Amino acid sequence: MSQNSHHSSNLHQTNGQEGFSCEWKAGQKNHQALSDNNLPGNKVSVLYLFDNYNWSGVKPEAYKQEPGNFANIVRNIIVGARGESCHFEVRYFEIAEGGFSSLEKHHHEHVIICVRGQGRLRLGREIHHMNFLDIAYISPDTPHQLLNCGKEPFGFFCIVDRERDLPQELAPEDLI
């Protein structure tokens, strides 16, 4: 067994080879540091366990600190804000029924991955419907907005550079 085998009770010997079992014991929790490493800026490797669109150790926060033209949306920074040396953030946003993000543009690019419900993505003057596991790449300076027009929450991962410019909020008439 490896020296890290104490972190998972699912690790076992199979035909003389070390491997992971696909069997999971209900109620098992492993939201802990997995191992120390010596990379500059890194504290530890961490496993954030998923539970009903929440992740262990990650607290939902306000979408933005300043008031603006958005409604019923929360943000979770899962990776990139706790001392990791990565140059990106993995964030999860959830928009409740009738909610929407701000209509904005910025110089940085980002990727959106729909993981809950359905939503609409405005890219410039076009509207696109997003379903489970649809992925959108939003190029620099592209006006965009995400909207929930359904009854269920619309949740999506957003992968973005950790260091980035501030968004410029737009009005719908700016798109004409």
149 in catalytic set: no
Asked if pLDDT for residue 8 goes beyond 60, the answer is: no
Domain ranges (residues) in the chain: 60-175
0.85 exceeded by pTM: no
pLDDT of residue 65: 83
Phi, psi angle pair for 109, to nearest 5°: -95, 160
d(CA 54, CA 24): 19
- The average pLDDT across 92-119 equals 97
Instruction: Return the residue matching tokens 């890194």.
Output: 42
Q: Could you tell me which residue, 42 or 106, shows the higher pLDDT? A: 106
Reported as a single tens digit per residue, the pLDDT across 50-101 is 999 988 889 999 999 888 899 999 999 999 988 888 999 999 999 999 999 9
Element (H, E) at 45: strand 44-46
d(CA 107, CA 170): 14
Amino acid 150 reads G
pLDDT of residue 24: 47
Question: Domain 60-175 has what CATH class?
Answer: mainly beta
Contacts of 58 (CB under 8 A, 6+ apart): 48, 76, 77, 78
